[in-house]
Amino acid sequence: MANLKEIRNRITSIGSTMQITSAMKMVSAAKLKKAQDAITAMRPYSSKLTELLQNLSATLEGNTGGAYSEQREVNKVLLVAITSNRGLCGGFNSSITKETVKTIQQKYMNTEVEIFTIGKKGNDVLSKEYTVVDNRNSIFDNLTFDNVAGVAEELMAMFVDGKYDRIEIIYNQFKNAATQIAKVEQFLPIEPIENDEEVNLDYIFEPTKEEIVLQLIPKSLKTQLYKSIRDSFAAEHGARMTAMHKATDNAKELRDDLKLTYNKARQAAITNEILEIVGGAEALNN
């Protein structure tokens, strides 16, 4: 059994760790509230924009998406993997790296695949085995629509120029503080919309529907990428808050066990001292 001094040092060390994990939990909780409000407010806009685009496209004939909806033979694929810049958030980052590897191995085994990472952790892992063409860590330093739109425009240009035949986004969708869902969404080309039912739109269009659709598509793609990053950002803080909450609870349990061990060891030491004193007194009497 460890001596009393070693146990006291471990109790002190675990107490310091508890303070750190508890502080990180509170910081993540504060950031989660802001990130959650942002993604909750954005989802209705993103859904309505997608719905409007689908309804307009459904009333048009032919290829209404222009270069962004061109269906080509898939010879080269770009996967956009969204992770975080920091760790200590449980399985948040590993779920994306695993989903990325799974997508490559199961869906694109015989296809040339390159990876575009957003977040340092994903880049650190995926760059060891796969080709990472670019990494954007700084986007989380100032997460705004304009900054994300610049990245979206680069991805759109790569597709239009024929560098890639398909681009997919892999990210953690925020459900709640304890649950994140790894999602794989097709970014480009725009998937054709199945028009099984007649769509009636009581709108007055100015300019024409075709021009409106062509203007909405780039905006919709930028919004899709921004929503994915916002989702991942909120999911990251939820995962970190949960992980630090569990770490604090585990540290408290370990500290309590060590205190019990310390008290038992201290009691045993006192008992031994008493026995030595009593034994010494008996020896003197004899």
How confident is residue 236, by pLDDT bands cut at 50, 70 and 90? Answer: very high
| Long-range pairs for 133-142: beta carbons < 8 A, 24 or more residues apart | 133/78, 137/85, 139/229, 140/84, 140/85, 140/233
24-28, 60-64, 91-95 — which is least confidently predicted?
Answer: 60-64
CA angle 255, 260, 261 (to 5 degrees): 95
For the chain, how long is the longest CA-to-CA vector?
A: 116
CATH number, domain of 231, equals 3.40.1380.10
State the pLDDT at residue 22: 92
Backbone angles phi, psi at 168, to 5 degrees: -125, 150
Residue 145, domain member (yes or no)? yes
How confident is residue 222, by pLDDT bands cut at 50, 70 and 90? Answer: very high
Q: Is the peptide bond before 207 cis (omega within 30 degrees of 0)?
A: yes
Tokens of 19: 């303070």
Q: Is it the case that residue 272 has pLDDT exceeding 80?
A: yes
Residue 272, domain member (yes or no)? no
Q: What number of other Cβ atoms are within 10 A of residue 72's Cβ?
A: 12
Residue 259, domain member (yes or no)? no
52-61, 93-102, 106-115, 160-169 — which is least confidently predicted?
Answer: 52-61
How confident is residue 284, by pLDDT bands cut at 50, 70 and 90? Answer: confident
Q: Is it the case that residue 64 has pLDDT exceeding 70?
A: no
Residue 90, domain member (yes or no)? yes
What pTM does this model have? 0.85
Q: Is it the case that residue 38 has pLDDT exceeding 80?
A: yes
What type of residue sits at position 133?
A: V
What residue numbers bound the domain in which 176 lies?
Answer: 22-243
Looking at the chain, list the stretches that DSSP marks H as alpha helix, in order from N- to C-terminal side.
4-58, 92-107, 120-126, 145-160, 209-285
Residue 41, domain member (yes or no)? yes
What's the domain count of the chain? 1
Residue 8, domain member (yes or no)? no
Q: Is it the case that residue 192 has pLDDT exceeding 80?
A: no
183 to 20, 161, 230, 236, 275: CA distances (angstroms): 32, 26, 13, 14, 67
State the pLDDT at residue 2: 60
How confident is residue 96, by pLDDT bands cut at 50, 70 and 90? Answer: very high
Residue 99, domain member (yes or no)? yes
Residue 119, domain member (yes or no)? yes
State the pLDDT at residue 258: 92
Q: Is it the case that residue 169 has pLDDT exceeding 60?
A: yes
Q: Is it the case that residue 148 has pLDDT exceeding 90?
A: yes
| pLDDT tens digits, one per residue of 130-143 | 999 999 998 998 99
66-75, 82-91, 224-233, 250-259 — which is least confidently predicted?
Answer: 66-75
Distance CA 154, CA 147 (A): 11
